[in-house]
Amino acid sequence: NAGVTQTPKFRILKIGQSMTLQCTQDMNHNYMYWYRQDPGMGLKLIYYSVGAGITDKGEVPNGYNVSRSTTEDFPLRLELAAPSQTSVYFCASSLTGQGTYNEQFFGPGTRLTVL
Amino acid sequence: GQSLEQPSEVTAVEGAIVQINCTYQTSGFYGLSWYQQHDGGAPTFLSYNALDGLEETGRFSSFLSRSDSYGYLLLQELQMKDSASYFCAVRGFNKFYFGSGTKLNVKP
Rounded CA-CA distance B98/B34 in Å is 9
> Is the Cβ pair A97, B44 closer than 8 Å?
no
Nearest to B105 by CA among B13, B43, B25: B13
| A41 interfacial to chain B (CB closer than 8 Å) | yes
pLDDT band at A97 (very low <50, low <70, confident <90, very high): low
Q: How far is A108 from chain B (nearest CA, A)?
A: 5
Q: What is the pLDDT of residue B91?
A: 87
How far, in Å, are A56, A67, B64 from residue B45 at the CA level?
Answer: 23, 26, 16
Per-residue pLDDT at B55 exceeds 60? yes
The answer to whether residues B2 and B25 touch, using CB atoms and an 8 Å cutoff, is: yes
Q: What is the pLDDT of residue A1?
A: 77
B42 contacts on A by Cβ (under 8 Å): 90, 106-109
Rounded CA-CA distance B72/A27 in Å is 30
Rounded CA-CA distance B79/A53 in Å is 44
Partner residues linked to A87 by β-bridges? A112
> Is the Cβ pair A106, B43 closer than 8 Å?
yes
pLDDT per position as a tens digit, B72-100? 999 999 999 999 999 999 988 878 899 99
pLDDT, greater one: B1 or B23: B23
Helix, strand, coil fractions of chain B, as percent rounded to 5: 5, 60, 40
Partner residues linked to A48 by β-bridges? A33, A56
Per-residue pLDDT at A4 exceeds 60? yes
DSSP 8-state assignment for residue A73:
B
Rounded CA-CA distance B60/B19 in Å is 10
Q: How many CB pairs under 8 A join A and B?
A: 64
Q: What percent of chain B has pLDDT over 70?
A: 100
Q: What is the pLDDT of residue A2?
A: 84
A99 contacts on B by Cβ (under 8 Å): 50
> Is the Cβ pair B94, A48 closer than 8 Å?
yes
What single-letter amino acid sits at B84? A
| Closest residue of chain B to A109, computed from CA coordinates | B42
Interface residue ranges in chain B relative to chain A, Cβ cutoff 8 Å: 4, 30-31, 33, 35, 41-45, 48, 50-51, 87, 89, 91, 93-101
Rounded CA-CA distance A54/A6 in Å is 20
Q: How far is B20 from chain A (nearest CA, A)?
A: 15
Q: What is the pLDDT of residue A100?
A: 47
Computed over every residue of chain A, the mean pLDDT equals 93
The answer to whether residues B2 and B27 touch, using CB atoms and an 8 Å cutoff, is: yes
Rounded CA-CA distance A65/A49 in Å is 12
pLDDT per position as a tens digit, A20-47? 999 999 999 999 999 999 988 899 999 9
Minimum-distance CB partner of A104 among B30, B31, B45: B45
| A59 interfacial to chain B (CB closer than 8 Å) | yes
What value does the mean pLDDT take over residues B37-48? 95
Q: What percent of chain A has pLDDT over 70?
A: 96
Q: How far is B88 from chain A (nearest CA, A)?
A: 9
Per-residue pLDDT at A99 exceeds 60? no
Of the listed ranges A55-64, A66-75, B3-12, B26-35, the least confidently predicted one is B26-35
